[in-house]
Amino acid sequence: MCGILLYTDPTRDFTYLQQQIAHRGPDSTQLITHDGIAFFSSVLSLRSPFTAQPLIDEDFVLQFNGELYNDEISGNDTRWIQQMLQETGDVVPTIRSLDGEFAYVIYQRSTRTISFGRDPVGKRSLVWSTAGDQLVVASVHPIEDREQYTDCLNGVIYQYNLDTHTLTMIPNDTHYNINPNTDQDITHISERVSQLHSVLSRSVAQRLKTIHPLHTSSTPFSILFSGGLDCTVIASLCAQLSPADTSIDLLNVAFDNPRTGLTASEAPDRQLAIQTWLSLCKTHPTTTFNLIEIDVPYSEYQDIRPKVIELMYPKNTEMDLSIAIAFYFASRGRGSLLSYGDDGSTASILRQPGYQSTGKVLFSGLGADELYGGYHKFANKDSTTLVPELEKQINGIYERNLMRDDKVISDNGVEVRYPFLSHDVIKFSTEEIEINYKVNKLILRELAKTLGLGFVAEEPKRAIQFGSKSAKITQGGKIKGTDSLS
Residue pLDDT, tens place only, 357-369: 999 999 999 999 9
pLDDT band at 476 (very low <50, low <70, confident <90, very high): low
Residue pLDDT, tens place only, 34-62: 999 999 999 998 888 889 899 999 999 99
What pLDDT, on a 0 to 100 scale, did the predictor assign at position 378? Answer: 78
What pLDDT, on a 0 to 100 scale, did the predictor assign at position 342? Answer: 65
Residues 6+ apart with CB under 8 A from 167: 130, 135, 158, 159, 160, 161
> Given this chain, do its domains 2-170 and 188-468 carry the same CATH topology?
no
pLDDT band at 263 (very low <50, low <70, confident <90, very high): very high
Per-domain boundaries in the chain: 2-170, 188-468
Q: What b/e readout covers 52-71, taking b as 16+ CB neighbours within 10 angstroms?
A: ebbbeeeebbbbbbbbbbee
Mean pLDDT across 409-413: 96
> CB burial class (10 A; 0-12, 13-18, 19+) of residue 380?
exposed
Superfamily grouping for domain 2-170: Aminohydrolase, N-terminal nucleophile (Ntn) domain (3.60.20.10)
pLDDT band at 214 (very low <50, low <70, confident <90, very high): very low
What pLDDT, on a 0 to 100 scale, did the predictor assign at position 377? Answer: 78
pLDDT over 90 percentage in the chain = 83
Residue pLDDT, tens place only, 324-344: 999 999 999 999 999 887 665
> CB burial class (10 A; 0-12, 13-18, 19+) of residue 99?
middle
pLDDT band at 257 (very low <50, low <70, confident <90, very high): very high
**Is pLDDT of 217 > 80?**
no
Q: Is the dihedral of CA 450, 453, 459, 462 positive or negative?
A: negative
| DSSP summary character for residue 155 | T
Active-site residues: which are they? 2
Torsion of CA 309, 314, 315, 318, to 10 degrees: 50
Helix, strand, or coil (residue 96)? helix
Measured in Å, how far apart are the chain's first and last C-alpha atoms?
A: 32
What is the average pLDDT score of the chain? 93
Residue 397 · residue 426 · CB < 8 Å: no
Helix, strand, or coil (residue 380)? coil
Residue 282 · residue 255 · CB < 8 Å: no
pLDDT band at 213 (very low <50, low <70, confident <90, very high): low
Residue pLDDT, tens place only, 166-177: 999 999 999 999
Q: Which residues pair with 352 in a beta bridge?
A: 337
The annotated binding site for ATP is made up of 224, 364-365
Widest CA span in the chain:
72
Residue pLDDT, tens place only, 91-138: 999 999 999 999 999 999 999 999 999 999 999 999 999 999 999 999
More confident of the two residues 378 and 83: 83
Residue 158 · residue 115 · CB < 8 Å: yes
- Residue of 418, 364, 336, 332 whose CA lies nearest to 23: 332
**Is pLDDT of 260 > 90?**
no
Letter for the amino acid at 260? T
**Is pLDDT of 474 > 80?**
no
The annotated binding site is made up of 77, 224, 364-365
Mean pLDDT across 64-81: 94
| Helix-then-strand count for the chain, H and E | 16, 19
Q: Using CA atoms, how far apart are residues 469 and 267, in angstroms rounded to an integer?
A: 6
What pLDDT, on a 0 to 100 scale, did the predictor assign at position 347? Answer: 60
Q: Using CA atoms, how far apart are residues 408 and 416, in angstroms rounded to an integer?
A: 11
Residue 361 · residue 220 · CB < 8 Å: yes
Residues 6+ apart with CB under 8 A from 266: none
CATH class of 188-468: alpha beta
More confident of the two residues 381 and 437: 437
pLDDT over 70 percentage in the chain = 97
Residue pLDDT, tens place only, 12-24: 999 999 999 999 9
The annotated binding site for L-glutamine is made up of 77
What pLDDT, on a 0 to 100 scale, did the predictor assign at position 477? Answer: 58
